[in-house]
């Protein structure tokens, strides 16, 4: 259950950036979660919403995008997207899509990024 601690870090990051930008409210926060991060996006979203109560983030829409898995093959030097097979959790991380070799390294898909926030602020030009 580490969704809660990750959600806490996400909420703090978003609020911190919003405050530095003189936001009155955050309307949207976009997060990217790697397909291989041990995080359940639905739980993560729920936790963020719970932790957002009474903060600048309270009314924000929480958007979670998935980062696909990328690999590097040590046999044929292929670098890029892993085999994408949602019904199989195993094949994408053990098989090179190019040469079907097994000696592959995961290069992407384990992140948890706070990507952007949309904020509402006073229009200085108005």
Partner 1 sequence: MHKIAEVEIQHDIMVANKKLAKRNQKIFDNAGVFAVDFLGAIGSGKTSLIEALIEKMDYKIGVIAGDVISRFDAGRIEKHDVPVVGLNTGKECHLDAHLVEHALHDLPLDDMELLFIENVGNLICPVDFDLGSHIRMVVISVSEGDDTAEKHPLIFKDADIVVINKVDIAEAVGADENKMVNDVLELNPDAIVIKSSLKTGEGLDEIIQSIQKFMDEA
Contact 21, 121 (CB under 8 A): yes
Number of residues counted as binding partner 1 (CB under 8 A): 41
Residue 27 within binding range of partner 1, rule CB under 8 A: yes
Residue 57 within binding range of partner 1, rule CB under 8 A: no
The single residue among 81, 83, 93, 99 that binds partner 1, judged by CB under 8 A, is 93
The nearest distance, CB 102 to partner 1, in angstroms, is 6
The single residue among 76, 89, 100, 107 that binds partner 1, judged by CB under 8 A, is 89
Residue 90 within binding range of partner 1, rule CB under 8 A: yes
Which of 81, 110 has the CB closer to partner 1?
Answer: 110
Strand partners, 70: 81, 108
DSSP state of 89: S
Q: CA quadruple 18, 22, 25, 26: dihedral positive or negative? A: negative
- CA–CA distance, 5 with 2 (Å, rounded to integer): 5
* Residue keyed to tokens 């990051």: 13
Phi/psi of residue 17, each to 5°? -65, -40
Positions touching partner 1 (CB under 8 A) are: 1-2, 4-6, 9-10, 13-14, 17-18, 21, 23-24, 27, 36-39, 89-90, 93-94, 102-103, 106, 110-123, 126
């Amino acid at each position: 259950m580490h969704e809660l601690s990750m959600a806490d870090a996400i909420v703090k990051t978003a609020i911190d950036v919003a405050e530095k930008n003189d936001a009155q409210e955050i309307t949207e926060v976009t997060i990217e979660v790697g397909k291989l991060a041990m995080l359940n996006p639905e739980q993560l979203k729920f936790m963020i919403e719970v932790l957002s109560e009474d903060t600048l983030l309270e009314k924000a829409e929480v958007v979670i995008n998935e980062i696909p898995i990328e690999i590097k093959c040590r046999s044929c030097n292929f670098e890029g997207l892993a085999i994408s097979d949602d019904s199989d959790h195993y094949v994408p991380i053990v098989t090179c899509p190019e040469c079907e070799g097994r000696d592959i390294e995961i290069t992407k898909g384990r992140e948890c990024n706070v990507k952007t926030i949309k904020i509402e602020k006073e229009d200085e030009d108005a």
